[in-house]
Structure 1
Amino acid sequence: MLQLHYFPDNASLAPHFLLVETGVEYSLVLVDRQSNAQKSAAYLKLNPAGRIPTLVHDDLVLFESPAICTYICELDPASRFIPPLGHQSRPLFFQWLAFLNNTLQAEYMMWRYVENHTTDPGGVQGIKAAQELRLERFLALLDQQLGKNRFLLGDTVSGCDHFLFMLAMWSEELSRPTTSFENLPRFMRDMAERPAVQQVCAIEEIGLQRYLG
């Protein structure tokens, strides 16, 4: 059984989607960020980075959300959520997953926790404004890609789409949310209609009404 150490609406959300999508047997272990449990001695033994999520599967302990997502996808015998070895779309899976994690999520985290990225409190609002513009540009790039295909890799959903859905939901806090783009609203509706996504969001108490209305 796989064990996902998670916190609701955290970077563990995309792996949680995929655990349900693939039908693998799993359990959840809450890491309470509100009490800083991710920095506890017990958790640091699993994940020395002190971040969420962590996946435990037998003797394997894995952290970093993209790595966990890839691992779960690879466990799916039908390869429904990652193109198989040799498939022309497989490199694109890693391209988009890397872009989402290294670019969109990294830029979002700087916007969300801007005070951690400067020693000048007076510059916080300027950095935050600049990050908004950068995030808008990257969301526009993704919106353009979704104008070519229903999902990032084509007409079928992949693990990249679950990762994008997680980040796009976080981006609703921006002054220009995903609902203001041309293609992202359709993508968000398609993802929000998936039974696995609805099941996970019910567990984590995340509302989907804005996408389904």
Structure 2
Amino acid sequence: MQRDPMLKLFYAPNSCAMASHIALEEAGAAYEAVKVDLVAGDQRKPDYLAINPKGRVPALVTDRGILTENPAILAFVAQTHPGAGLAPLDDAYEFGRIQSFNSYLCSTVHVAHAHRMRAYRWADDPAAMAEMRRKVPQNVGECFDLIENELFKGPWVMGERYSISDPYLFTLSGWLKGDDVELARFPKIHDHYRRMQQRPAVASVLPLHQR
């Protein structure tokens, strides 16, 4: 029997890469996880920049090339492991809904969070950076209000079926405390977070993402 090609996931603890890491576990994929130490600056070293010139995580090495960005990697995992049922691959509209949600987490929610630690990406003026940090609880909170009230279907993100959107939401929900936003403020997301912690794939990955 021919084995699936080995995948190699480059991740950093407590980063958004945990979403793709969980998805690989859920899919039962054959993969290797390689830690990138962001504190030590591994992401800026030539060896890693040769893998991902963006200097970010995650990056997934496949037999056909390298993928970056969580929405792309999550979709790839679902499509290459259809038996895991991580996305409605036979329904273009429903798959599009998953992509829409994951893109919102990537392009809006993550960016709102990043203003707390990485305001230097958008400004040089210390006062401007301080103002961006001050707004993080409000901006992140409003993003999660929208998810709680409009986007989250329940009991999983897309409804009755667990999908690649669930580990992504779980990952970003874990950042709320650091952003000075109470998870308990969002009852449906809070319940989702607790249930995610009970999944074997999550339990196996979490220790690698704790600093």
TM over 0.5: yes
Deviations 1:160-197 (A, max 9, x none): 11111101101221222222222211111111111100
Q: Is 1:121 aligned with 2:126?
A: yes
Equivalent in 8, 11, 21 of residue 16 of structure 1: 21
Deviation at 1:48, TM superposition (A): 1.1
* Identical amino acids, percent of aligned pairs: 26
Deviations 1:130-185 (A, max 9, x none): 23212111101111146642122111211111111101101221222222222211
Q: Residue 5 of structure 1 corresponds to which residue in structure 2?
A: 10
Where 2:8 maps in the other structure, the secondary structure is strand
Total equivalences in the alignment:
206
Structure 2 unaligned segments of length 5 or more: list them. 1-5
More displaced stretch, 111-120 vs 133-142: 111-120
Distance 2:190 2:42 in 1: 35
Task: Judging by fraction of residues, say which structure has more helix.
Answer: 1
Higher relative contact order (CA 8 A, sep 6+): 2
Please report the TM-score for the alignment, with normalisation by the length of structure 2: 0.90
Q: Residue 158 of structure 1 corresponds to which residue in structure 2?
A: 163
CA RMSD of aligned residues (A): 1.8
Distance 1:83 1:36 in 2: 38
What is the 5 A alignment of 1:98-117? Answer: 98-117=103-122
Distance 2:97 2:142 in 1: 20
Q: Residue 46 of structure 2 corresponds to which residue in structure 1?
A: 41
Q: Residue 171 of structure 1 corresponds to which residue in structure 2?
A: 176
Distance 1:138 1:204 in 2: 24
Where 2:83 maps in the other structure, the secondary structure is coil
Superposition misfits of 4+ residues, deviation over 6 angstroms: none
Deviation at 1:11, TM superposition (A): 2.1
Code of the aligned partner of 2:127: G
Distance 1:138 1:160 in 2: 16
